[in-house]
Amino acid sequence: MILAPLIKQIVGTLWYLLPLLILAALIKSSWFKGVMGEFIVNVAAKLMLDKNEYHLIKNVTMPTEDGTTQIDHVIVSKYGIFVVETKNIKGWIFGDANQSTWTQQIFKHKSKFQNPLRQNYKHVKTLESLLGLSDQQIHSLIVFVGESTFKTEMPANVTHGIGYIRFIKSKTKPVLTVEDVREIVSKIEIGRLTPSFKTNREHIKHVKTIISEKQNITKDMSATPKHKTDNSIIDVNACKACGSEMKIREKKSGDDAGKKYWVCIKFPECRNVEPYSEANWF
């Protein structure tokens, strides 16, 4: 009987602590970090961009041939359309535009994540198709928020924090008319799926399906016997001449300057070069 008041007091104390524990868990969740990252981008856009010239549209889910694609932010202006993907990732960030995956390092721990430029590629192409625009009128823009540091040189359209505002303001040549801007905002609002929990849930389900399919393909490829050539046995994704890794390279001069190729890492010892084509990303 002596313990009863003590137990009651402990239970009462835990009852008051429970909401704090739930709140702490929520703050640490990836969902909350994602929401906060998008909130920071939204606030910066509203405070630092003239709302009469720049029109912010948030959380745009668009239907595609194979499901849906979800865009964090679309900013429409006469200087072009900025398709913004936010990444709330901490630590050191390593990567370049041509790599399929980038690296996050926290102390000695390293992990891979999808190149956000490739992730945003489908967003850009979806809007290009919907709006009938050229790649000169639409810009892919990546914004890292949170405690992250770039440890490799990044393209100008990969930014940190409010640096994305500087990138947007660096575009000073009008590529759209005022009427174009009005029509584009209207088309996006009409073409998007209604923002709702159901829409978000269905998109997440679609993305999980794509990831699962890609993982299955990777497993199948690793289990598939390797091709034989006259010289050696090589992986299906390796150099067909020597079996080494292939890297994407861009031609710097000549009539086809800017064109990309797969080039063997042993070049010039191995001179195998293959055409490069863009992959599809969600």
Domain boundaries, the chain: 28-193, 225-275
- Compute the distance between CA of residue 251 and CA of residue 244 in angstroms, rounded to an integer: 21
Per-position pLDDT tens, the chain of length 282 = 556 666 666 656 655 666 655 655 544 555 555 566 677 788 888 899 999 999 999 989 888 777 788 899 999 999 999 999 999 888 999 999 989 999 999 999 999 999 999 989 989 998 998 899 998 999 999 999 888 999 999 999 999 988 999 999 999 999 999 999 999 999 999 888 865 445 455 544 544 554 454 445 445 544 544 443 333 333 345 676 666 777 887 776 666 777 787 887 777 667 778 777 644 334
CA distances from 108 to 91, 111, 113, 142 (A): 10, 10, 16, 26
Q: What is the pLDDT of residue 68?
A: 82
Contacts of 273 (CB under 8 A, 6+ apart): 261, 262, 263, 264, 267
Residue among 259, 75, 59, 42 at smallest CA distance from 171: 75
Residue 238 CB-density burial (10 A; 0-12 exposed, 13-18 middle, 19+ buried): middle
Strand order in the sheet with 91-94: 109-114, 101-106, 91-94, 148-150
Residue among 210, 264, 213 at smallest CA distance from 241: 264
Q: What does residue 259 show for φ and ψ, rounded to 5 degrees? A: -75, 140
Which run of H or E residues covers position 208?
A: helix 197-223
Q: SS3 of 52, please?
A: coil
Q: What is the pLDDT of residue 236?
A: 40
pTM of this prediction exceeds 0.85: no
Q: What is the pLDDT of residue 248?
A: 81
- Compute the distance between CA of residue 193 and CA of residue 199 in angstroms, rounded to an integer: 7
237's tokens: 């994704």
**Packing angle, helices 30-48 and 3-28, rounded to 10:** 50
Residue among 151, 42, 136 at smallest CA distance from 93: 151
Report whether 281 contacts 118 (CB < 8 A).
Answer: yes
Which run of H or E residues covers position 181?
A: helix 178-191
